[in-house]
A = this chain, B = another copy of it.
Amino acid sequence: MPKPKKPYHHGDLKNALIQAAIEILASEGAGGLSLRKAARRAGVSHAAPYAHFADKQALIAAVSTEGYRRLHARILAANARYPGDPLRRLIEGAWAYAAFALEDPDHFRVTLSGVVAREQDYPELTQATAASFGLVVQIVAECQAAGLLRAAPPDLMTVSIWSAVHGLVSLALEGQLSHIILERYTLRRLLIQTLGEFIQCEIPRRLYATPRG
Contact = CB atoms under 8 A, between A and B. Distances in A.
A173 interface: yes
Interface string A101-132: 00000000000111010110000000001100
Interface stretch (A42-50, A81-89, A163-171): A163-171
Interface string A176-193: 111111000100001001
A134 to B, nearest CB: 10
Contacts of A155: 180-181
Interface residues of A, number: 39
A34 to B, nearest CB: 14
A162 interface: yes
Given A156-B193, A194-B159, A198-B197, A114 B173 contact: yes
Please classify the interface of chain A as helix (H, G, I), strand (E, B), loop, or mixed, using the class held by over half of its residues: helix
Given A129-B176, A165-B167, A166-B167, A197 B160 contact: yes
Nearest to A185: B156
Contacts of A176: 112, 114, 129
A166 B163 CA distance: 7
Contact of A163 (B112, B116, B159, B171): B171
B156 A119 contact: no
A116 B167 contact: no
Nearest to A182: B159
Contacts of A173: 114
A175 interface: yes
Contacts of A170: 166-167, 170
8 contacts: A129-B178, A130-B178, A155-B180, A160-B194, A160-B197, A163-B164, A163-B167, A165-B167
Given A114-B176, A159-B193, A163-B168, 8 more contacts: A114-B174, A133-B178, A150-B197, A159-B171, A160-B194, A160-B197, A166-B167, A166-B171
